[in-house]
Amino acid sequence: MADRYLNFTGTAPGRFLTRRLGLPQPSPLRRWTPEHPYLEGELLLLTAGESAHGPELSTVLSRTHLDLAAESSSPAAVVVDATGISDVPALSEVHAALHPVVRSVAENGRVVVLGAPVSPSDHHQAAAQQALEGFVRSLGKELGRGRTATLVRMSSAAAAESTLRFLLSPRSAYVSGQVIEVGETEPPTTPVDWDRPLAGRTALVTGAARGIGAAVAEVLARDGARVVVLDVPSAQAELVRVADRLGGTALPLDITADDAGDRMASALAPADLDILVHNAGITRDRRLANMPSDRWDPVLDVNLTSVLRTTDALLKSGTLNRGGRVVATASIAGIAGNVGQTNYAASKAGIIGLVRSLAPVASAEHGVTVNAVAPGFIETKMTAAVPLFIREAGRRMNSLAQGGLPVDVAETTAWFASPGSGGVNGQVVRVCGQSLLGS
Ligand code: NAI
């Protein structure tokens, strides 16, 4: 369903009229294209407080394809290294660094603030570092013109390279107002080729016959992965079309089947699995008072129970390789809740619980990371079916004043899946243009 309002505000009369009426002014987002795979322009690197990462950080940032600059009249991106901020007075340095330049950040530009892990024992450091979260989330709401703001808490610049490359690229166009923690990896994992980071890897994507899942499979294949696409047997024709287009394999299978994990493993043999994307999901909306169990059970079964069951089976059987990645799909409804969605929101909040609990265990025992994307309003068949006024509200009620595209969720999934993202574990990253719901 085309976003006619976004098209209208892109015309001169449309811009004039909507400005006069004080209506939202969405900027068309710049996404990845083969012709323009990187942000173009200058990257301004600023420091607030004493940085522990100086030279290493500059080296990492110099590989983003942006031109590292100490001054710029219109930077495509600004990175503020605030990792050394250890008390509240030092926060004034963050203000002093960004205040003079924030207005000049280019359309579709990025502001990335680097913080340190919040200390469990130094409450002054904890107060100052946590303050950065409120700062960045507010800045994301102020920036406008397709510009985004993100906080990355990191302990090493090398471990954060894949995250910084993602955030400082068009791939993260619909990710704003997020806080991402990147831990240490020993040794740091790095793709052989950053432009095809998934070369030689095998990915299985559930619910991939259409919508977000098909886009995920496409982006993983673009990044070099061999893809196995899974969907219900009744969607086989669409599924085979996706598989053929991507040179992958179709696996018609209902993920709620008791033996779904085993059947996934045998479909992959003799190869093993590197990337498991749990994308399949359903809604059966109704207010709780009107919701019979036959609308409750299937939603919990598809969206949560089958994710738990198949992940456990693939980890236990050793099908998921060391260095593997599990990416599950939550939703902002699982964070904020939604009328008519007690079943769906419970299932998606359950995904967040699963991710946070399994991540450290899977990493320690299997060398596998576990993360989740939490999409906001994404333009798909699911959201096209939403009544007009609710759809319009969903689209506009975020800092970028527009809906996201399936490819935005796919790019975030590909970043989690990268061999370079070994330090990204147990994270729930919202792909929602910084939705007002559940912020
Ligand atoms: P969609 O309905 O277009 O696609 C979902 C796919 O999952 C379908 O192809 C369907 O056949 C498949 N599927 C359903 N049950 C299955 C089963 N038992 N076994 C195997 N495959 C099954 O949905 P969409 O919009 O692409 O959503 C994808 C994921 O993103 C879902 O988990 C959804 O909850 C989540 N999401 C979507 C949002 C949106 O705005 N579209 C917002 C937040 C989350």
How confident is the model over 240-265, as pLDDT tens digits?
Answer: 999 999 999 999 999 999 999 999 99
Question: Domain check: are 226 and 323 in the same one?
Answer: yes
Active site residue 174: no
pLDDT-based confidence at 439, cuts 50/70/90? low
CA dist 365 and 363 (Å) reads 6
Question: Mean of the per-residue pLDDT values for the chain?
Answer: 94
pLDDT-based confidence at 438, cuts 50/70/90? low
Question: Is the pLDDT confidence value at 231 over 90?
Answer: yes
Share of the chain above pLDDT 70, in %: 99
Annotated catalytic residue, options 5, 38, 174, 344: 344
Question: Is the pLDDT confidence value at 40 over 90?
Answer: yes
Look at residue 306 and tell me if it is in a domain. yes
Say yes or no: CB of residue 115 within 6 Å of ligand 1: no
Quick one: residue 177, left, alpha or beta (phi over 0 = left, psi -120 to 50 = alpha)?
A: left
* CA of 268 relative to ligand 1 center, distance in Å: 22
The set of residues, in sequence order, having a beta carbon less than 8 Å from that of 404 and lying 6+ positions away, is 174, 375, 376, 377, 378, 379, 431, 432, 433
Question: Domain check: are 171 and 252 in the same one?
Answer: no
Residue 124 pLDDT: 98
* CA of 262 relative to ligand 1 center, distance in Å: 22
* Token pair in block for residue 390: 């609710």
Question: Domain check: are 220 and 256 in the same one?
Answer: yes
Residue 16, judged by CB atoms within 10 A of its CB (0-12, 13-18, 19+), counts as: exposed
Question: Domain check: are 58 and 124 in the same one?
Answer: yes
* CA of 27 relative to ligand 1 center, distance in Å: 27
Question: Domain check: are 243 and 368 in the same one?
Answer: yes
> Distances in Å between the alpha carbon of 311 and those of 84, 136, 326, 358?
39, 34, 8, 10
Q: Per residue in 281-317, pLDDT tens?
A: 999 999 999 999 999 999 999 999 999 999 999 999 9
Find the mean pLDDT for residues 127-142: 98
The DSSP letter of residue 76 is S
Question: Is the pLDDT confidence value at 277 over 60?
Answer: yes
Look at residue 5 and tell me if it is in a domain. no
Say yes or no: CB of residue 279 within 6 Å of ligand 1: yes
Domain that holds residue 380: 202-431
In this structure, how many other beta carbons lie within 10 angstroms of the beta carbon of residue 357? 12
Say yes or no: CB of residue 255 within 6 Å of ligand 1: yes
CA dist 55 and 168 (Å) reads 18
Residue entry with tokens 């359903």: 282
Residue 433 pLDDT: 96
* CA of 250 relative to ligand 1 center, distance in Å: 17
Asked whether the beta carbons of 268 and 319 are under 8 A apart, the reply is yes
Look at residue 248 and tell me if it is in a domain. yes
CA angle 397, 350, 420 (to 5 degrees): 80
Look at residue 80 and tell me if it is in a domain. yes
Best mutation site among 218, 253, 264, 279 for ligand 1, i.e. most ligand atoms within 8 A of its Cβ? 279
Q: What is the CATH number of the domain that holds 134?
A: 3.40.50.720
CA dist 402 and 405 (Å) reads 10
CA dist 219 and 215 (Å) reads 6
Question: Domain check: are 215 and 147 in the same one?
Answer: no
Residue entry with tokens 């394809």: 65
The DSSP letter of residue 303 is I
Residue 137 pLDDT: 97
Residue 4 pLDDT: 80
Closest residue by CA, ligand 1 atom 41: 378
Question: Is the pLDDT confidence value at 396 over 80?
Answer: yes
Q: Per residue in 84-122, pLDDT tens?
A: 999 999 999 999 999 999 999 999 999 999 999 999 999
Question: Domain check: are 103 and 213 in the same one?
Answer: no
Give the number of domains in the chain.
2
Question: Domain check: are 150 and 213 in the same one?
Answer: no
Look at residue 8 and tell me if it is in a domain. no
Look at residue 13 and tell me if it is in a domain. no
Find the mean pLDDT for residues 213-218: 98
Say yes or no: CB of residue 300 within 6 Å of ligand 1: no
Question: Domain check: are 338 and 419 in the same one?
Answer: yes
Say yes or no: CB of residue 341 within 6 Å of ligand 1: no
Say yes or no: CB of residue 242 within 6 Å of ligand 1: no
Closest residue by CA, ligand 1 atom 2: 382
